[in-house]
A and B are shown apart, each in its own frame.
Chain A
């Protein structure tokens, strides 16, 4: 049993570590988006399957060393939530970066059009 518990622990810790790495990296390309969408689709299919065949979920949980299917669902939810935080954090950063560049550019453009006061004018 101990070996099986280790398996789910490895999976969960690997997922958490993966999300942490994603948080610190700054690449967000088409590949990431595609992976995210495939994962979402798998999640939908999995959710439907677990409702229709609850015993399948339990069997899968047992295979991974988790007592009940509901527990496995909770773990999956935690991972999904963390990755949601990761992606929205990234999106927020990108957006605030754009706002910064916009505001700064606006300010500098305004300064260029204004007549600059020379020390003699004051």
Chain B
């Protein structure tokens, strides 16, 4: 099943029967169904963690064919991610999981390439990075915030990532089992990098393309949000 020689060969869904997409979901009813429909042909296992959505996102995701877990109250993306990770770790035959955004800014082909890297056995953890190639075009302010995030991650974890706050990550189940996110809100992005780094397992980055649609831009992290993240990380 390890196919390192020709990773560009199209793989069928059965190759990913032991892999899971983990999608934290909060009020994304308008887009989540198409995101799931786009991913299901490749990844037959998708778990959506409905983080107390009030717009029927959970039902939409279930109708689209995903396994849906529901938080009774809204806790934050970090908490939803942790629930999804715990769920996948409980599945007896799970091999790897990919954290994937519900708003359609991530590409299934990128997720597939990252799982292929793990399947090839060279690494346990793959972080998606927008800045390893020139496909992604963030704005000036976003670039500044992300540059600071990279610096901060380097200082706090010692890991030299080119993109500290990318939601697209792939990891083996043994690596995921050692993640225990305590940051419920957006600061989990730094925390997951820190905890995965501490596992001592081999990691690498993989270039991914993030689509900044008007929809995701409207919901994305603002500069104010990065202040909140910093405070969350400092004042535990």
Contacts and interface: CB of A to CB of B under 8 A. Distances in A.
Contact of B65 (A99, A110, A116, A122): A122
B235 interface: yes
A103 B234 contact: no
A119 interface: yes
Given A24-B236, A100-B75, A107 B69 contact: yes
Given A108-B83, A108-B87, A23 B235 contact: yes
A106 B83 CA distance: 10
A107 B70 contact: yes
Contacts, number: 50
Interface in A78-122: 89, 93, 96-97, 99-100, 103-104, 106-108, 110-112, 116-117, 119, 122
B77 interface: no
Interface in B182-213: 182, 184
Interface residues of A, number: 21
A97 B180 CA distance: 12
A32 to B, nearest CB: 16
Contacts of A107: 49, 69-72, 83
B79 interface: yes
B80 to A, nearest CB: 9
B184 A96 contact: yes
B75 A103 contact: yes
B65 to A, nearest CB: 5
B116 to A, nearest CB: 20
A29 B95 CA distance: 41
A97 B75 CA distance: 10
A11 B235 CA distance: 23
How many B residues are at the interface, by size bracket? 20 to 34
Contact of B72 (A89, A103, A108, A119): A103
B104 interface: no
Contacts of A24: 234-236
B3 to A, nearest CB: 21
A93 B72 CA distance: 19
B86 A104 contact: yes
Nearest to B82: A104
Interface string B27-46: 00000000000000000110
Contacts of A26: 236
Contacts of B75: 99-100, 103-104
12 contacts: A24-B236, A93-B236, A100-B79, A100-B184, A104-B71, A104-B82, A104-B86, A107-B70, A108-B69, A119-B17, A119-B44, A119-B45
For the complex of A and B, the 7 pairs showing the least CB-CB separation, nearest first, are A119-B44, A104-B83, A107-B69, A100-B79, A111-B69, A122-B65, A103-B71
Given A24-B234, A104-B86, A107-B72, 15 more contacts: A24-B235, A89-B235, A99-B73, A100-B79, A103-B71, A103-B72, A103-B75, A104-B71, A106-B72, A108-B87, A108-B90, A111-B87, A112-B90, A116-B67, A119-B45
Interface of A: 23-24, 26, 89, 93, 96-97, 99-100, 103-104, 106-108, 110-112, 116-117, 119, 122
Interface of B: 13, 17, 44-45, 49, 65, 67, 69-73, 75, 79, 82-83, 86-87, 90, 182, 184, 234-236
